[in-house]
Structure 1
Amino acid sequence: MTSTSVRTRFAPSPTGFIHLGNIRSALYPWAFARHHGGQFVLRIEDTDTERSTQAAVDVILESMQWMGLHYDEGPIYQMQRMQRYREVLAQLLEAGHAYPCYMSTAELDALRERQMAAGLKPRYDGTWRPEPGKTLPAVPPGVQPVLRFRTPAHGSVSWPDRVKGQVSFDNAELDDLVIARPDGTPTYNFCVVVDDIDMRITHVIRGDDHVNNTPRQIHIFRALGSEAPVYAHLPTVLNEQGDKLSKRSGAKSVLQYRDEGYVADAMVNYLARLGWSHGDEELFSREQFVQWFDLEHLGRSAAQFDGEKLKWVNAQYLRAMEPQRLAQLLRPFLERLGLREQGVSLEAAAVLLRERASTLLEIAELCAMFYAEPAPDAQALEPLLSAPVREALRALAAALEGLPAWDAASVGAALKQVLGEHKLKMPQLAMPLRHLVTGRAQTPSVDAVLVLFARETVLQRVRAGIGAQGSA
């Protein structure tokens, strides 16, 4: 395998939103291609015309863009390749690898009912399969046939799966697959093979729900004179209840995580560990992931999604982020909350508050204390403002006004001095001070919060609050 020979693909169907289990099936082939200096192809499998929508395509593209899973070729749409599929179907027919089948849906249903009643596996019985010396039924008038692939009747098909090990199927267990519908449109397993051949895909890394498709696809590869790619079938991702992660089981769209304030690099880190590992490394950069990624360390057991672990990973990324970058990512969330950066540096506010948050949205909500007018809870504030506390707050306002420097150390020293002179404990002064200045009962260290505001703002809010309470 040369450094430029690897070609992988992500081939989603645009029939709904894309969740974390889906995007993991893009992440691993993307990383494998990047690790080997190869090519990553995006293919949109949109032959299900009843369920495929442009809106779903847009969600796929937007999700991959946000995650930073940039493709080298594509998107390639199967519906734009119909002429190519028709050419290959004709080749298979001419070579005897495919044949027309005139069995109606009703006949096929009746056949399956008889087989199940007899305790047999329901399957097509080869009625229209040409065999030496066999007389086929008369072609019914006015019936458009399906095309079926002529599966080898004997032997077995196997492959060395890079996750599951050696996998083998008896050909006797595989009936003759429909590869084109009566209207001539090709079916999934056929299109996949033609696409992988034409796009020179070397490695197929996909979910293990495709394992039963693989022997059929390998047969079609061989009938077309091509080698099948290397397969690596990923175990299922389970939700927190232990069921398969799916839209029906409550899985969220990838873009919902974006909108909730998760950062793309944290998502890549978390998803990378959801089925692959590099020793005991929990946190690593995107560059490290690409450098380390291989197929040998893909897990064989189902991975279980853990929302709390994802939050923890995201929090670590937020806390390590450069303040300027953090502020840049936060601004859209502030705008969504109807807030505007003014007076207080968003970089400074974000750095102070990120220790108390797991997502960008949570930080933005905390930032409201700096960018919205405070609305202290009068019922909560009143019992805190005893006469001694009001006196201490007046003294604190005077002390803060006279400080030569407006920094946390100076404000902290002023607080300690006033507490000592008025014989109060820190919570007795800090609690009402938080309410008056920020409108909140809980904040980080009060001196660190106060110095982010302009001194005049702090003094005005403290004095106005004491006056309002005193006159009430």
Structure 2
Amino acid sequence: MWDVGVSESEQSVFQKRTVCPVKPVILGFLMNRFKRTRIAPTPSGYLHLGNVLSFALTAALAKQTGAHVLLRIDDLDQARVKQNYIDDIFETLEFLKLPWDEGPRTYADYKNTYSQIHRMQLYEDALQQLRQQGHLFACECSRSVLFARHPDGVYMGTCRDKGLSLDNPGYNWRIDTSGATLPPNMQYFVVRKRDGFPAYQLASVVDDVQSGVDLIVRGEDLRESTQAQIYLAGLLGYDSFVSATFYHHVLLKGARGEKLSKSSGATSIQYLRKQGQTAEDIYQKVGQLIGISEVVSDWEQFGVNWRRYL
């Protein structure tokens, strides 16, 4: 695994410890050639400026490194999925002229072929492998109970030694990370939710391996998830994921320094389009938010000085 901006000696430490180093030491990243990268929006709200930065960087780095871009829609949180959010993904990508080589082109295409629902057996196979290897334990703690006990949201392995049955449909399945070097909020992370659906960490790893992704571009807020996912990939024997290259970019922040999210309606691309903003206006706005003084009018220009986004 390469985390772009990490020295070779640190990579060696990572491979031994399954730890994601983060020192900003520039590697000869663009000398590498990659097979496939992906953009993976979740249809739980309208796409926003933060998505634009991530997608533009992905497209620009893919072009410079020869990678194909896969569009994957992460829709396992079915309670929050709405068709208008999925339609917005296609409309926004087309509006911004962001290219992708593989994946759905329409809502019907997504629904009939590309939804994660069609890959449930792959996730189940991975879960059963983890179970057979003895890496799992059942947890009865609800989110409200967890936060009542630990306001910081850090789970301390409360149920690890209770011997609860994994066959109880109302329990989360967690990974026993005892002895692993992971951030506190990734200790004993969930791989199957109480509703029986695979959790994000597991589904994302399985999908990336299944589709042959070897370059992953994501926000710096997901560094800790990257560490958990690489640990999980090691347990599953997914060497291709462990050896993938990860590029964690800066986040766009609001006026109060908060991370932009889908709840920030004024930053949604749909809202900006209704206000008469052009694609060029939106790219310029993203550029300004990350400190670019030059004119930025399309996604390719984000690949010119990509190192500034580390």
Same fold (TM over 0.5): yes
- 1:123 and 2:149 correspond: no
Is 2:176 the counterpart of 1:150?
yes
Q: Distance in 1 between matches of 2:96 and 2:164?
A: 56
Quote the Cα distance in structure 2 between the aligned partners of 1:126 and 1:105: 8
1:233 corresponding residue in structure 2 = 248
Q: Aligned pair in 2 of structure 1 residues 57, 194: CA closer, same or farther (>3 Å)?
A: same
Partner-residue secondary structure (3-state), 2:42: coil
CA distance in 2 between counterparts of 1:144 and 1:256 reads 39
Structure number with higher helix proportion: 1
Q: For 1:183 and 1:58, locate their aligned partners in 2 and report how far apart those are by CA, in whole Å.
A: 26
- 1:20/1:3 CA distance change after superposition, 3 Å: same
For residue 297 of structure 1, report the CA deviation from its aligned partner.
2.6
8 A contact 1:100–1:145 mirrored in 2:
no
Three-state SS of the structure 1 residue aligned to 2:203 is helix
**How do 1:258-337 and structure 2 match up within 5 A?**
258-272=273-287, 274-275=289-290, 282-283=294-295, 286=298, 289=301, 292-293=303-304, 295-299=306-310
Structure with greater Cα Rg: 1
Q: Secondary structure at the match of 1:205?
A: strand
Please give the residue correspondences for 1:324-403 in structure 2 after superposition, counting only pairs within 5 Å: none
User: Which stretch shifts more, 175-184 or 242-251?
Assistant: 242-251
How far apart are 1:111 and its partner, in Å?
Answer: 7.0
Partners of 1:288 and 1:115 in 2: CA distance? 44
Cα drift, residue 104 of structure 1: 2.5
State how far apart, in whole Å, the 1-side matches of 2:194 and 2:130 are: 16
After TM superposition, the score normalised by the length of structure 2 is: 0.73
Distance 1:79 1:298, change over 3 A: same
Residue identity opposite 1:55 in structure 2:
N
Choose the corresponding residue for 1:221, options 209, 212, 233: 233
Give the drift of 1:195. 1.1
Correspondence for 1:188: 200
- Which segments of 5 or more consecutive residues in structure 1 lack a partner in the other structure? 130-135, 158-168, 300-472
In the alignment, what sits opposite 2:224?
A: 212
What is the letter of the counterpart of residue 19 of structure 1? H
Matches within 5 A, 1:413-452: none
Find out whether 1:40 has 2:52 as its counterpart. no
Query: Quick one: distance in 2 between partners of 1:44 and 1:197?
Result: 16
The number of residue pairs the alignment matches comes to 269
2:50 to 21, 42, 45: 21
- Please tell me the root mean square deviation across aligned C-alpha atoms, in Å: 3.2
Deviation of 1:122 after TM superposition, in Å, equals 4.5
Aligned-partner SS, 2:208: helix
- The answer as to whether partners of 1:189 and 1:213 remain within 8 angstroms in 2 is yes
- 1:313-354 Cα offsets, whole Å, 9 max, x none, are xxxxxxxxxxxxxxxxxxxxxxxxxxxxxxxxxxxxxxxxxx
CA distance in 1, matches of 2:229, 2:167: 32
Q: What displacement does 1:192 show?
A: 0.8
Paired residue type of 1:149:
I
1:105 paired to 2:141: yes
| Structure-1 residue corresponding to 2:188 | 176
Equivalent residue of 2:60, what SS? helix
Alignment partners' CA distance in 1, 2:257 and 2:164: 52
Are 1:89 and 2:127 counterparts? yes
Residue 251 in structure 1 maps to residue 277 in structure 2: no
Query: What is the rounded CA distance, in whole Å, between the counterparts of 1:61 and 1:179 in structure 2?
Result: 29
State how far apart, in whole Å, the 1-side matches of 2:166 and 2:122 are. 29
* Alpha-carbon distance in structure 1 between the residues aligned to 2:33 and 2:101: 13
Aligned counterpart for 1:11 among listed residues 40, 65, 69: 40
Equivalents in 1 of 2:132, 2:166: separation in Å? 22
For residue 215 of structure 1, report the CA deviation from its aligned partner.
Answer: 1.8
Gap change, CA 1:193 and 1:288, over 3 Å in 2: closer
Determine helix, strand or coil for the equivalent of 1:74. Answer: coil
- Percent identity between the two aligned chains: 29
**Alpha-carbon deviation of 1:125?**
2.2
Could you say which structure has the greater relative contact order, defined with CA pairs below 8 angstroms and 6 or more residues apart? 2
In the alignment, the residues of structure 2 paired with residue 155 and residue 12 of structure 1 have an alpha-carbon distance, to the nearest angstrom, of 29
- Residue identity in the other structure for 2:210: D
Q: State the alpha-carbon separation in 1 of the partners of residues 44 and 185 from structure 2.
A: 30
8 Å contact kept, 1:126–1:176:
no
2:79 equivalent in structure 1: 50
Matched position secondary structure for 1:251: helix
Match of 1:428 in 2: none
Change in CA separation of 1:25 and 1:111 when aligned onto 2, cut-off 3 Å = closer
1:60-116 Cα distance to aligned partner (Å, 9 max, x none):
11001110012111134222211111111112222223x241x4236x865764567
